[in-house]
Structure 1
Amino acid sequence: MKTIIIFTMGCLLTASGILYSQAPGGWVSLFDGKTLTGWKAAENPATFSVEDGAIMVAGPRAHLFYEGPVGNHSFKNFEWKAQVKTMPGSNSGMFIHTAYQETGWPAQGYEIQVNQTHTDWRKTGSVYSMQDVKETFVKDDEWYTEAITVQGKQVTVKINDKVINTYTEPDSLANSTIKRRLSRGTVALQGHDPKSKVLYKDIMIRILPD
C-alpha cells in the first residue's frame, strides 16, 4: 500500500510540474499573497516585503525576479497582470523578457513603466524609452490593474482594461546584439529609489501559444 501511495504522489507531482510548464493555459498566480516564494531579489533584497497580501516595494534600487516553476520562469508569448497602487511621487516598473541580474538596471528585456506623479515624464504604461506615454490614467493611492500582453513582436499595455499603448518592435532589432529586445525570459518588479513606495497584488500570468 505504501508503495502505491508513494507512486501516486510521485505521479501527481510530475503531472503538476508538467502543468506548470505547459503552454498555453489559464491564468496562474505568481504570488501567494503571504511570502516571496518563487521570487529572487537582487542588489537590495530588503526593498521587497509582503504587507496585507501585497508585495510592498520600498527602499533603495532593487529588482525582484520571478524564478518559480510556472513556465519554468521563461516566457515568450503571455499575458501578465497585477493590481498596483502607487504612493505620491513613486516610480516602479514591470519587466518582461528579462533575466536575473545581481546589480544595476536590468540589461535584458523591456520595462513597462509604473509612475503617476514621479518627476520622470515617462508615465504608467510606457514601454520605457521605446514607446513612452506622457498622460496619466490613474491616481496615486488607488488600486488599478496594469496588464501586459506580449505576442510575437508586439507589446500591448492595458490600464483598467483600456489599451493605452501598443508597441511593435521593429525588424531592425531582430539581428541586433543588444539584449533590450523581445526574445523570451522572466518577469520582474522594480524598486526604483528610497522615496518610492508601490504595492503589487493579485499577480497573474497566462501563457499564450508560440
Structure 2
Amino acid sequence: MFRTLTSILAFTLFLEFVSFGQKMNSLTPAEQKSGWVLLFDGKTTNGWRGAYSDKFPSHGWVVKNGELRGELSDGAESGDGGDIVTMKKYRNFEMVFDWKLGKGGNSGVKYFIEERQPKPAKGSQAGYEYQLIDDADYIYMDKHLPQDLKTASIYDVVAAQKPDVQLEIWHTSKIVVNKNHLEHWLDGKKVLSVNRTDEAFKKGVADSKFKDYQGFADIPEGRILLQDHGHSVAFRNIKIKEL
C-alpha cells in the first residue's frame, strides 16, 4: 500500500513538471538570476495586505492547493473580503500570472494603485486594470460587454484585440510597463500595446469612468492589486521583475 501511494505521488509530481515545465509557484535558477521574484509562494499570503488596511482580509480570500483564491459571494465590487495589494510599489516591471475564472465571473489585476484618500465609499480603488471577465456571457447594464471591458483590456480605456476567452481553465497573462509603454499579453500573445503619450490613450481616459481622476493618464508608480468582485477566481505563479 505504501509503495502504491508513493508511486501515485511520484507520478502526480511528474505530471506537474511535465504539464507546466516547472513546479508551481517557483522560479527557475535562470529566472532568479535575471531578477524575477515571486509575489505568491503558494502557501501563505506573505507580501499582501488588504487595500487601505495594514492586515490581510480575514475572509474572502484563501490559499488552497497552491492557489490564491477569491471566494464566491454576491458579485459586489470589493464588497466581501475586499481587494488585496502588494506591500511594495512598482514603477517599471514585467509581471506574469496564471488565473482561472468561473462562468459569469469578474475580477482583475490592477497596477499603479495609489490608495488615494479618501477611500472610495463603494467599489474598488482606481488603477490600470488588466480585466478578467466572462467575455461572452457577462451582462453589463443589460447589454453584452463592449471590447474595452473584456478580458486583457485596460478596463474602460483601451480594448485588447483577441477572441473571447474560455472559462474554467487556466490562462497565463503578462503585463509589461516600461516608462509610458504598456503591454498586455494573454497565453503567449500580445493583445494590447499602447503608449501613455498617445492620443488614443488620452482619449480613452477622457472617455472613461476615470476622466475626473486627476493624473490618471500618467500615474508614475503604485501597488499591484487583485480584485475582489464577489466572483470565484484563482491565481497562481504570480511573479514580477522590475525593469
Instruction: Please indicate the TM-score interval, normalised by the length of the shorter structure.
Output: 0.7 to 0.9
Q: Residue in 2 aligned with 1:15?
A: none
Q: Of the candidates 24, 38, 45, which is equivalent to residue 36 of structure 1?
A: 45
- Overall identity of the aligned pairs, in %: 27
Q: Residue in 1 aligned with 2:4?
A: none
> Post-superposition shift, 1:100?
4.0
Q: Residue in 2 aligned with 1:180?
A: 216
Ranges in structure 2 where 5+ consecutive residues have no aligned partner:
1-32, 203-211
| Equivalences for residues 45-124 of structure 1 within 5 A | 45=57, 46-58=59-71, 59=73, 60=76, 61=78, 62-67=82-87, 73-100=88-115, 103=120, 104-107=123-126, 109-117=127-135, 118-120=138-140, 121=145, 122-124=149-151
Q: Of the candidates 155, 167, 180, which is equivalent to residue 194 of structure 2?
A: 167
Give the TM-score normalised by the residue count of structure 2. Answer: 0.65
**CA distance 1:99–1:177, change in 2 (3 Å):** closer
> Post-superposition shift, 1:48?
1.3
Give the TM-score normalised by the residue count of structure 1. Answer: 0.74
Ranges in structure 1 where 5+ consecutive residues have no aligned partner:
1-23, 68-72
Deviations 1:96-136 (A, max 9, x none): 111346553213x3111011343242111110111023754
- Aligned partners of 2:93, 2:51: CA distance in 1, in Å? 24
Q: Residue in 2 aligned with 1:156?
A: 183
Aligned partners of 1:65 and 1:99 also within 8 Å: no
Q: Residue in 2 aligned with 1:192?
A: 229
SS in 2 for 1:164: strand
Aligned partners of 2:185 and 2:191 also within 8 Å: yes
| Equivalences for residues 139-154 of structure 1 within 5 A | 139-154=166-181
> Post-superposition shift, 1:81?
1.1
Question: What residue identity is the alignment partner of 2:171?
Answer: Y
SS in 1 for 2:221: coil
- Aligned partners of 1:74, 1:94: CA distance in 2, in Å? 14
Q: Residue in 2 aligned with 1:5?
A: none
Aligned partners of 2:162 and 2:191 also within 8 Å: no
- Aligned partners of 1:180, 1:132: CA distance in 2, in Å? 17
The CA RMSD measured in Å over matched residues stands at 2.5
